[in-house]
Amino acid sequence: MSGQHFGARLTGATAARGPLCAGIDPHPGLLDAWGLPRDAAGLERFALTCVEALAGVVAVLKPQSAFFEAYGSRGVAVLERVIAESRAAGALVLLDVKRGDIGSTMAAYAQAYLADGSPLAADAVTLSPFLGFGSLDPALDLAARTGRGVFVLARTSNSEGASVQRAVDGGGRTVAQAVVDAAAARNAGAAPLGSVGLVVGATVGNSGLDLSALNGPVLAPGLGAQGAGPADLRAVFGAALPHVLPASSRDILRHGPDVPALRDAALRVRDSLVAAAG
């Protein structure tokens, strides 16, 4: 991938289109609600309708890979189209895969999602650091070489995550803060923004994290159906808010399958985020 690195492209995209990441989550309940069959044809209709409605107006689209993988090779082929057509329409694509492994396996995941020429290569991916932040080096290094980005799980909103993410190491830091600090080290000196982001749930309340040195973006899932509103974001993220990318899925997708209704829903969410940030 040529041109600017991901942090710079994300900064430009959110300045032009607003700070919204719209999820494409074709789970079975939404296929039912849209009157679509639970098969690869229904998946394709759902996903490409989302692209038609949203890719031209939102900064970032976030397809959830698992819902495509569930349909086997046909589902993955649909995901490849979603990535290509979304990017062609001007949206950045953040592929939600949450991969995390070691050694050659992590390197293979990196090749799949971050290498030039791969049909699944997105602008950025989500990664899990809980085999150790250093286990992500193959993905971080390849992303840096190809101008792509990563968002590393730090403080998630699911209740099961707290026992790991809030655990304290020998130096008194929580695991989540250690992830923040490692990401900040990767972003040091980057301008206008580093390309190693974090995932911090918009519904976690006071996360207890010091994000002041991050110099990178923060993906904040949980806006809308999961309970967080635009006004909550400042309470959670404080001074880091200008670099927060709130994510909303069901609150937008419930307006489908009508394309104008989907687009209008996304624009309403985007405008409410801009107003709250101001």
- Give me the active site residues, please: 98
- Residues 132 and 122: their CA atoms lie apart, in Å, by 24
Find where tokens 């967080």 sit. Answer: 228
Length reported for the chain: 278
Query: How far, CA to CA in Å, does 256 sit from each of 26, 31, 92, 249?
Result: 11, 10, 21, 12
Find where tokens 């006071």 sit. Answer: 206
| Local structure of 85: helix, strand or coil | helix
Q: How many CB atoms lie within 10 A of CB 73?
A: 9
Nearest Cα neighbor of 98 from 59, 79, 119, 124 is 124
Contact 236, 205 (CB under 8 A): yes
- Residue 183 tokens, joined: 């990401």
DSSP string, 106-147: HHHHHHHHHSTT-TT--SEEEE--TT-GGGGHHHHHHHHHHT
Q: How many CB atoms lie within 10 A of CB 260?
A: 9
